[in-house]
Amino acid sequence: MKLISVAGARPNFMKIAPLADAIAAHNATTSPGIEHILVHTGQHYDQEMSDLFFKELEIPEPDINLGVGGGSHAIQTAEIMKRIEPVLIEHQPDYLLVVGDVNSTIACALVAVKLGIKVIHVEAGLRSYDRGMPEEINRVLTDAISDLLFTTEREATGNLLREGVSPDKIHFVGNVMIDTLLTHRIKAEQSDVLERMGVTGEYGVVTLHRPSNVDDPAQLAMLMATLHEVSSALQLIFPVHPRTRNSLSAHGIPVAEGICFLEPLGYLDFLKLQSSARLVITDSGGIQEETTVLGVPCLTLRESTERPVTVTHGTNRLVPLRHDAIVAAAREILGGAVVTGRIPELWDGGAAQRIISILLNLA
């Protein structure tokens, strides 16, 4: 079997890592094994951060780097399509495997399906039902053209069935991102990130990067004022996404006092930061999942989530995008409200192995 897998952005790296490990484990005991070609599109093009994630997660060096870089959604998607096409034509894989919902996912899947190459979508079926989110468009379209769809939660499987996807194509396998968390959790605990930052006592973690939250200057100013108020009761640590930093600077929005602003962190440092936090405030999809497994209260500043199991089973809570609602939710947790949850079904560290086993059975 010849398999090309695609990673384009940092969340993809966490999903590709356990799959690469499972393939390597299979190849160590079976011959002929799976010929695996790893393509990095370069959608997240910060070389230092990309290199750090690959090193920390022990992902093999990409066989091919498309070096796409930034640009608008249209420019970036088109450039990825142009650069992946000759790769697929040259290597003629049996399958193209894509993960998540970034532009690299839909761009590579579109090219593959038009070349008659079967497409595998890992983390399929997630739906926020908010078409204002670019990721939602990517998810829906990728699922519609994929030949094999691997889901992280039962509700995602139900979404696909309601959309008319054949049950034969759908496999509920669990969450590869949680495979990575469980593999590296002990190592992350050894991180000295808190000591390096001089953090003592309780603290909260903040991440914001969604265009709907950070591109609108009025919205971003409201969020910064809200975080400033929360920081009067709890020290906040805020690794700032480049998009958010640029927006703060471009619109002259003052940085809230009492908040520790950082450059983006590596995987292990950030996992340590999350696991020891009193509270996480975010608009990220993956962090909703990670905090659920870590048992850390999470306030998600969005009107909807494509990961509902983190709310129904986990420690995540959707909070309306209003100053009073966010402050009230944070005060409730800091006031001693008990936040309990349980780890969702099959989030047990075995998702990647289940995916590879299914592929081998289908070969």
Q: Which two three-digit tokens encode residue 20? A: 């690469």
Tell whether 288 is covered by a domain: yes
Mean pLDDT of 142-149: 98
Tell whether 293 is covered by a domain: yes
Number of structural domains in the chain: 2
Q: Is residue 163 located within the same domain as residue 227?
A: no
Q: How large a percentage of the chain has pLDDT more than 70?
A: 98
Q: How large a percentage of the chain has pLDDT more than 90?
A: 85
Tell whether 181 is covered by a domain: no
Q: Which of 6, 362, 8, 11 is nearest to 175 (CA)?
A: 11
pLDDT at position 48:
59
Q: Is residue 87 located within the same domain as residue 25?
A: yes
**DSSP 8-state assignment for residue 169:** G
Q: What residues pair up with 203 in beta bridges, in sequence order?
A: 235
- The answer to whether the peptide bond before residue 32 is cis (omega within 30 degrees of 0) is yes
Report whether 327 contacts 227 (CB < 8 A): no
Q: Is residue 209 located within the same domain as residue 276?
A: yes
Mean pLDDT of 149-178: 98
Task: Say what the pTM is.
Answer: 0.95
Tell whether 224 is covered by a domain: yes
Tell whether 339 is covered by a domain: no
Query: Please, which residues have CB within 8 angstroms of residue 216's CB and are 6 or more apart in sequence?
Result: none
CA distance 289 to 287: 5
**Residue entry with tokens 């696991």:** 275
Q: Is residue 270 located within the same domain as residue 158?
A: no
Tell whether 209 is covered by a domain: yes
CA count, 13 A, side-chain hemisphere, 184: 28
Q: Range with the lowest mean pLDDT among 221-230, 253-262, 288-297?
A: 253-262
Q: Is residue 149 located within the same domain as residue 19?
A: yes
pLDDT at position 52:
80
In this structure, are strands 279-282 and 118-124 parallel, antiparallel, or unpaired?
Answer: unpaired
Please give the mean pLDDT across all residues of the chain: 94
The tens digit of pLDDT for each residue in 329-348 reads: 999 999 999 899 999 999 99
CA distance 224 to 222: 5
Mean pLDDT of 49-63: 84
Q: Is residue 224 located within the same domain as residue 285?
A: yes
Tell whether 191 is covered by a domain: yes
Q: Is residue 147 located within the same domain as residue 15?
A: yes
**Residue entry with tokens 């509920």:** 172
> Reduced to 3 DSSP states, what percent helix, strand and coil does the chain have, rounded to the nearest 5?
50, 15, 35
pLDDT at position 32:
86
What does the CA dihedral 5, 114, 85, 83 come to, rounded to 10 degrees? Answer: -90
**Residue entry with tokens 């440092």:** 269
Q: Is residue 7 located within the same domain as residue 107?
A: yes
Q: Is residue 237 located within the same domain as residue 269?
A: yes
Given 209, 228, 251, 313, the catalytic residue? 209
Catalytic residue list contains 91: no
Which residue range is the domain that position 23 belongs to? 2-175+347-362
The tens digit of pLDDT for each residue in 109-138 reads: 999 999 999 999 999 999 999 998 999 999
Q: How confident is the model at residue 304 (pLDDT cuts 50, 70, 90)?
A: very high
Mean pLDDT of 260-275: 94
pLDDT at position 51:
76
Q: Is residue 191 located within the same domain as residue 44?
A: no
Tell whether 318 is covered by a domain: yes
Q: Which two three-digit tokens encode residue 304? A: 């909807």
pLDDT at position 45:
60
Q: Which of 37, 45, 58 is nearest to 10 (CA)?
A: 45
Q: Is residue 300 located within the same domain as residue 272?
A: yes
Q: Is residue 100 located within the same domain as residue 47?
A: yes
CATH of the domain at 204: 3.40.50.2000
